Amino acid sequence: MKIKDLEFKKFITADRIEKKVAALAKHIDKDYKDKSPVFLPVLNGSFMFAADLLKEVTIPCRVSFVKISSYAGTASTGQLKSLIGHDESLFGTDIIIVEDIVDTGLTLQKVSDELKGLGAKSVEAVSLLRKQPAREKNIDIKYIGFELEQEFVVGYGLDYDGLGRNLKDIYSRVG
């Protein structure tokens, strides 16, 4: 499959994603059974994962969104832009950051530090995908769906220059 100038192949099917999302939700339900956490999806990439995950979560919870972006094309710029954020008081709450993918971990660290500064009671993260740099740096992510190496992926919320977010499977770049 081609998106703009790049070639992609199917990498993780919608069926596998669905099963993994259900398992992650079950794990969260169990760990937070006497709590009422706030889920904080990091837009844009996590919108699809967050929607599917939250449909499977059964504990009482709230949802609020942050928007942050460090990617231009297929590489992290290292500079984080445009944080639209936390519109309700998060003081004293148990927060679960919802990420589509953690690569360098910069985004997650920034959001997590900010939340701790706002007086959150606890801050954990769930990410559908984790890349090798995050693994190497031991970035703290309590719930992880799939482990990747360095491949660039699109689909299921993830984009290449704005395209491909609507695909229900995850594709990886060829070549």
**Catalytically active residues, by annotation:** 103
Instruction: Tell which residue, 85, 75, 146, 144, has the closest CA to residue 110.
Output: 85
Beta bridge partners of 75: 72
Q: Which of residues 143-162 bind ligand 5GP (CB under 6 A)?
A: 152-154, 158-160
Instruction: Tell which one of 102, 123, 125, 141 touches ligand 5GP (CB under 6 A).
Output: 102
Q: How many CB atoms lie within 10 A of CB 26?
A: 13
Tokens (6 digits) for 113 = 């530090």
Contact between 112 and ligand 5GP per CB under 6 A: no
Q: Which of residues 7-66 bind ligand 5GP (CB under 6 A)?
A: 42, 45
Q: Which residues contact 122 (CB under 8 A, 6 or more apart)?
A: 94, 95
Residue 120 vs 139, nearer CB to ligand 5GP: 139
Residue 31 vs 159, nearer CB to ligand 5GP: 159
Residue 79 vs 87, nearer CB to ligand 5GP: 79
The answer to whether the CB of 156 falls within 8 A of the CB of 17 is yes
Q: Which residues bind ligand 5GP (CB under 6 A)?
A: 42, 45, 70-71, 76, 99-108, 152-154, 158-160
